[in-house]
Amino acid sequence: MGTVTTMRQLTMSQAINEALREEMRRQPNLILLGQDIGAYGGTFGVYRGLFDEFGPERVRDGPLCESATVGFAIGAAINGMRSVVELEFMDFVTVAMDQIVNQAAKMHYFFGGQIKVPLVIRTAIVSRMGMGSQHSQSLEAWFIHVPGLKVAIPSNAYDAKGLMKTALRDTNPILFIENVKLYSTKCDVPEEEYSVPFGRARVMREGSDVTVVAISAMVPESLAAAEKLGAQNISVEVIDPRTLNPLDVETIAQSVRKTGRVIITHDAAKTGGVAAEISQRIMEEAFDYLNAPIVRVAGLDVPVPSGALHPMVVPNQQRVIEAVLKMLGR
């Protein structure tokens, strides 16, 4: 008889919380660091209940200084304490760039492989919440440019838990990027133990006319667009890379060889975004199969405004639909 998998619906926030809880029970040397993560449960509530179970020694509120918190976590990690740091908004990684880029990412190399840095930095994209240009940036492209860092960016509860489990058993520094808009979205998550490997994309929907490579919050937007386009007899394949470094180029290229057309979409500003790197990798791996130029559907190259204007800056399903129809000459 095969293994029976028991499913239940969890939100993405609950799934991440469950992954942290399970691994803290499994790994007594795992600690959580960040602002307002103790009794308050974290800015977006992902840590709820962890302080009550594990106490202030393992769930530590840090100072209003991201650089100091990340630096403390690096020191703990190289001395055998696996650390998870929460940076409340992705914009705040700018305050800790030296620690992340010049220290955490390079220490394994500096010391000839004798030092490991088991560090997970959780940070949130808030571009769809209307909280202004200093709290709404999607900066993932900066970090795929840094050798020594891994970058995960899940779009649903199943992948969020599975990728977090993998991250919490890795010995490398990992940037784990979560979109706040996705925290309340639900999907089936197994009760049984499982993990999702880094570097393996997921085909969210199969299709034959156009490939859409979607990142983070643009995954559900692209799936909704594909559903509407299906009513017009247009078959759209949607791929979620799940991790950006390592990037599963082969799954993307295999899809492009099938469809001959590709659109890449993300919240981040278009210029210099992850879509540009994925586009070039497709050119290197599947150029001969392209029947049309690669198209990017991305955020506008402007600071993300607050209030009612912010939906005009980030992409949505309608922009994906328009790009597909234009690509197909409809």
What is the distance between the alpha carbons of residues 126 and 105, in angstroms, rounded to a whole number? Answer: 25
pLDDT reported for residue 3: 64
Top-level class of domain 202-327: alpha beta
* Lowest model confidence (mean pLDDT) among 58-62, 176-180, 294-298: 58-62
Sequence-separated (6 or more) residues with CB below 8 Å from residue 151: 140, 143, 144, 174, 175, 177, 243, 244, 245
Single out the catalytic residue among 18, 66, 86, 178: 66
By residue count, the chain amounts to 330
Q: What is the pLDDT of residue 169?
A: 97
What letters, b where the CB count within 10 A reaches 16 and e where it falls short, cover 107-131?
A: bbeeeeeeebbbbbbbbbbbbbbbb
CATH number for the domain whose boundaries are 7-190: 3.40.50.970
b/e for 150-174, b at 16 or more Cβ within 10 A? bbbbbbbbbbbbbbbbbbbebebbb
Which comes out higher in pLDDT, residue 136 or 47? Answer: 47
Q: Is the pLDDT of residue 88 over 60?
A: yes
Alpha-carbon distance of 62 to 39, in angstroms, equals 13
Q: Which residue ranges make up each domain of the chain?
A: 7-190, 202-327
The yes-or-no answer on residue 66 being catalytic is yes
Asked, colleague to colleague, whether 7-190 and 202-327 share their fold, the answer is yes
Q: Give me the pLDDT at residue 166, please.
A: 98
pLDDT score of 85 more than 60: yes
**pLDDT over 70 (residue 50):** yes
Q: Is 108 a known active-site residue?
A: no
| pLDDT at position 300 over 90 | yes
Closest CA to 89 of 214, 180, 218: 180
Taking all residues of the chain, what is their mean pLDDT, rounded to a whole number? 95
For residue 32, the surrounding DSSP H or E stretch is strand 30-34
Quick one: average pLDDT of 18-36?
A: 96
pLDDT > 70 fraction of the chain, expressed in percent and rounded:
99
Choosing from 135, 140, 178, 237, which is the catalytic residue? 135
CA atoms within 13 A on the CB side of 58: 20
Per-residue model confidence (pLDDT) at position 22:
98
> Cβ distance 82 to 30 under 8 Å?
yes
pLDDT-derived band at 330 (thresholds 50, 70, 90) equals: confident
What pLDDT band is residue 1 in, cutting at 50, 70 and 90? very low
